[in-house]
Amino acid sequence: MVPYQRNVHFTGREKLLATVHNELSKELPQRWNHRLALYGLGGVGKTQLALEYAYSHKENYHGVYWLSAVSQATLFSGFQEIAVQTSCIAKSGTLKPSEIAVQVLKWLNREEKWLLIVDNLEDVSVVDAEIR
């Protein structure tokens, strides 16, 4: 569920891609494992790096899911799309968007080997307290 085609012109950054892979693969006791934030000024290539990682390591995951966090509406829409594509929620039509997000996150926590990319999260308040 990656909304963009692979960038065939993506070059370099092998060291950074390896670092992303190593960080996402670490198993440290009493730590939030398998979480990573790419940050920097707009236009430096964070989305392109995440996109290349998703395509180059897709065989390591049972599912790759991409959420746009430009707004709360797009974030919730992405959770809805995951619910529809995976059928992980039986009756999502009767749930509020925040409830769908919670149910998708619960489902992901029961699953293994998945990659969730949250793109363009500039304002943490977009992630409602109900789903954190």
14-126 is a CATH 1.10.10.10 domain: no
81 vs 85: CA distance, rounded Å: 6
| Per-residue pLDDT of the chain in tens (132 residues, 90 and over written 9) | 788 889 889 988 899 999 999 888 887 776 666 788 888 888 888 999 999 999 999 999 999 999 999 988 999 999 999 999 999 998 767 899 999 999 999 999 999 899 999 999 887 776 765 565
> What is the per-residue pLDDT for 90?
81
CA distance 112 to 68: 22
Q: Which two tokens stand for residue 66?
A: 């991409």
Nearest-angstrom CA–CA distance, 92 and 99: 9
What pLDDT shows up at residue 132?
A: 56
pLDDT one-digit tens code per residue, 95-131: 999 999 999 999 999 998 999 999 998 877 767 655 6
pLDDT of residue 84: 92
Q: What pLDDT is stored for residue 1 in this prediction? A: 78
Task: Report d(CA 68, CA 120) in Å as an integer.
Answer: 6
Rounded to a whole number of angstroms, the distance between the first and last alpha carbons of the chain is 22
Domain boundaries, the chain: 14-126
